[in-house]
Structure 1
Amino acid sequence: MEVKEKISLANVPKGTKSNRENNKLLEIYNIKKYFPVKKSLFSRSSRYVKAVDDVSFSVGARETIGIVGESGCGKSTLGRTILRLQNPTSGKIIYNNIDITKLNDSELQSVRREMQIVFQDPYASLNPKFRIGDIVGEPLRVHGEGSKNDRRERVQSLLERVGIGAHQISKYPHEFSGGQRQRVGIARALALNPQLIVCDEPISALDVSIQSQVINLFQDLQEELGLTYLFISHDLSVVRHISDRVAVMYLGKIVEIGDTEDIYQKPSHPYTKALLSAIPIPNPVEQRKRNRIILQGDVPNPINPPSGCRFHTRCPLVTNRCKEEEPILTTGSNGRMVACHYPLD
Structure 2
Amino acid sequence: MIYYITSGNQSQLVIFTVQCFAEKEDFQVLFFILFLLIYLIIILGNSTVFTTITLSPKLHTPMYMFLGNLSFLDISYTSTTFPKLLHMVYTQQKTISFTGCITQLYFFMALACTECLLLAVMAYDRYVAICHPLHYTVLMSHEHCARLITVVWAVAFLDIEPITSVVANLSFCSSHHIDHFFCDLIPLLKITCSDTSTIEILIYINGMIVGVTSYTLTSVSYGFIIHTILNIHSSQGRQKAFSTCTSHLTCVTIFYGTITCSYMRPTKSYNPGLDSFFALLYVALVPMLNPFIYTLKNKEFKDIFSEMMNTIWS
TM over 0.5: no
Where is the helix percentage greater, Structure 1 or Structure 2? 2
Task: State TM-score, norm by structure 1.
Answer: 0.24
In terms of fraction of residues, the more strand-rich structure is 1
Normalised by the size of structure 2, how large is the TM-score? 0.26
Bigger RCO (CA 8 Å, 6+ sep): 2
